[in-house]
Structure 1
Amino acid sequence: MMVSRKIRRAFVHECGENGTRCCENAFSYLECMPPHEFDAIITDPPYQIGIAGQKWDSKPLPIDWLAYHFHRVLKPNGNVFVFCSDFQFVHWYTELSKYFTNLRKYAWCRSNPMGWIKGRFIESFELGLHACGPDAYFDKSRPYRNHKVTGTCAGRERIKPDADEEKGKGKGQRSLHPTQKPLELIEELVTALTDMGHLILDPFSGTGTLAEAATKLGRRYAVVEFQYRYHRAASRRLKNHDLKST
């Protein structure tokens, strides 16, 4: 029996031992949060490029509004890290520089890039931006480069749709989420930008990679995802991780 995801739009809040998972609009969530709540924000917002034909990645992103609220809900010694598309980078840099004095670009370099086209360079990296104040926490136990080389998610790490979902044949339908980031990549950001017990927010959490990395590394998390099917996959992913840890 096929289950329609369209009829299951009630917002859901789930609490776990290490954090909370919310199926909710990220903007409503941020607007309701008290100031200075989080030690770090590590997130991968929509790129506005309509990847794999997804409507959620085509809508204009209010970067000025997000930068303000990121600063508002972050503790004074906290860190913000956002992945972004090429054309978004300057907008994120401009808006975050209104609130943070230290900004540094970052790149995720894919060791197995896809999409070779004759006569063009292969698109093999994605940009990120780290923003913080002069007193922000940073792990000083080892040096960190402003890039990380890993492969794209594949194999067991790649989250697949539930068995009761219709299996589409279109581009990007072979995996549940077309822009899932590797756990290894997010783990490095969590380690560099937070300490044990810190609370990390991801308001665009997708299939929950940040939540798994935080749990694995002894941090707390609050993750928000609007799409119920992604939220459900993240909850299942965290439960499986807890079972493996016991």
Structure 2
Amino acid sequence: MNLPSANPASSTLGTELRAARHRRKLTQKALASRARVDVATVQSLEGGRGTLAPLLLVLSVLEHRFLEQPTNTGVGSWLVSHRKRLRISQRVLSERAGISKPAIIAVEHGRGHLKTLTACMSAMGLPIALRADEDEYQSGSANSDFAPRREFVQGDCITVMRGIEARSVNLIVTSPPYNLGKRYHSYRDKLPLVDYRAFAQAWLTEAVRLLADDGSLWLNVGNTRDPDGGTLPLEYLYWPLIKNLGLTLVQTIVWHHHTGLPQVAKFTQLTERWLWCTKRAKGFVWNLDAVRVPPKTTGKRTNPYGANPSDLWSFTSLVHNAKARPDHPCPQPVEMVERIVNACSRPGGVVLDPFGGSGTTAVAAVRNGRGFVSIEVSPRYHRTGIDRLRTWESSQDAAVAAAAA
């Protein structure tokens, strides 16, 4: 099939971005701050220059997408699907757009330069125009405020979540108390098993109510003690609750954390589980290209942008590292939570952690252009999370200042 004639768009992407910013009554500085990019980047984008990654951040803040881009579809996926509907190859598109094939591949993976993006759109007859995403936000998706929400809340998670609007978060990442008698949680840990199950039911019900329809819930669980003296894996306790709330279990991830307390009566435990659940069986947010890892082997079938991580994750725990560990007994590695944030949310979205602890989820969200709500019952660890994020932001400011010097 032949390509449609190149579309002589009446406006450029830069003018579209500028018009969208003016409709939101934002200065370039305010837009840069909310998108967590520098002013020079916003200026470049409005001049039709730059790369796709900051463009996506800016579009998310402006609540805009391309005119014919479907809701819940990334730019790269949209371009691929449109090219396939035209029944043309990347090579043919490359020839028509005057862009190299590797550049085409990059844009279809959500990377690359704006000039490549606009050349591809023009060559495929797609208008270089933006539309407001009002329909998506009115339907209950989680970005009703165009500034990413950033909030630490000190209090009981069930009480706090009851005061939050339904379907107002894009992703939930959390690790609840394991009911082992560890007093740092301040949730009357340890409870009789029937009471712990009721507690799990209560917080999970509220969490699911807050989750956007295309969102995911990632639940980190280990083991607790069975009343008969044995071991009860918490995924067995949570599974019926997850099922009854209408969630779909997409996958179980094994976290190998390398360190653990030596055991004598049984094997030393070096793993925990992540349960990845969604409200929809299909159509949930999934950004594979954002979390690819270096391939173990190379060949003709090797993806040039990396391999899909397996369901066995190897991240070193900070529990036994007193120097690296924040003021909390069981913090998770930020890099591990970042993988979840990047894979299952979009820039500008909101990530919720009902058991905020030392603020790991908050830091992972902000580092990757997302907002967050971090709820923590302990005043001490609530303050730890705030201080931890401020420390990271101060280090970023210092790095920017040093680079500008």
Percent of aligned pairs sharing the same letter: 21
Q: Deviations over 1:89-122 (max 9, x none)?
A: 11212111231234321221112x2211235211
Q: Map of 1:78-227 to 2, 5 A cutoff? A: 78-86=215-223, 87-98=233-244, 99-111=246-258, 113-132=259-278, 133=280, 134-141=282-289, 142=292, 143-153=308-318, 154=321, 156-159=323-326, 176-227=327-378
Alignment-derived partner of residue 165 in structure 1: none
SS in 1 for 2:220: strand
Are the aligned partners of 1:44 and 1:83 in contact in 2 as well (CA < 8 Å)? yes
Of 32-41 and 97-106, the range deviating more from structure 2: 97-106
Distance 1:187 1:122, change over 3 A: same
Bigger relative contact order (CA 8 A; separation at least 6):
1
Q: Deviations over 1:28-76 (max 9, x none)?
A: 0111112111001000110111247866442325222233222211110
Distance in 2 (CA, whole Å) between partners of 1:101 and 1:228 is 34
Q: Flag the structure with larger Rg.
A: 2
Q: Letter of the aligned partner of 1:42 in structure 2?
A: V
Gaps of 5+ in 1: 1-15, 160-175
Are the aligned partners of 1:200 and 1:221 in contact in 2 as well (CA < 8 Å)? yes
Distance 1:68 1:204, change over 3 A: same
Distance in 2 (CA, whole Å) between partners of 1:26 and 1:32 is 10
Matched, 1:232 2:363: no
Are the aligned partners of 1:93 and 1:103 in contact in 2 as well (CA < 8 Å)? no
Name the TM-score, length of structure 2 as normaliser.
Answer: 0.50
Are the aligned partners of 1:35 and 1:74 in contact in 2 as well (CA < 8 Å)? yes
Distance 1:207 1:135, change over 3 A: same
Distance in 1 (CA, whole Å) between partners of 2:222 and 2:182 is 11
Are the aligned partners of 1:40 and 1:74 in contact in 2 as well (CA < 8 Å)? yes
2:154 to 18, 23, 26: 23
Name the TM-score, length of structure 1 as normaliser.
Answer: 0.80
Q: Letter of the aligned partner of 2:251 in structure 1?
A: R
Q: Letter of the aligned partner of 1:127 in structure 2?
A: R
Are the aligned partners of 2:158 and 2:202 in contact in 1 as well (CA < 8 Å)? no
Of 84-93 and 34-43, the range deviating more from structure 2: 84-93
Q: Map of 1:40-59 to 2, 5 A cutoff? A: 40-51=171-182, 56=187, 57-59=189-191
Q: Deviations over 1:132-156 (max 9, x none)?
A: 1221101121323223112111354
Gaps of 5+ in 2: 1-146, 224-232, 293-307, 398-405
Runs of 4+ aligned structure 1 residues displaced above 6 Å come to none
Distance in 2 (CA, whole Å) between partners of 1:69 and 1:91 is 17
Alignment-derived partner of residue 244 in structure 1: 395
Matched, 1:68 2:205: yes
Distance in 2 (CA, whole Å) between partners of 1:53 and 1:131 is 27
Q: Which has the higher helix share?
A: 2
Distance in 1 (CA, whole Å) between partners of 2:356 and 2:378 is 10
Q: Letter of the aligned partner of 2:394 in structure 1?
A: L
Q: Deviations over 1:194-222 (max 9, x none)?
A: 11111000010001000111111111101
Distance in 2 (CA, whole Å) between partners of 1:53 and 1:200 is 23
Are the aligned partners of 2:257 and 2:314 in contact in 1 as well (CA < 8 Å)? yes
Q: Deviations over 1:208-241 (max 9, x none)?
A: 0001111111111010001001011111111111
SS in 2 for 1:97: helix
Q: Letter of the aligned partner of 1:103 in structure 2?
A: V
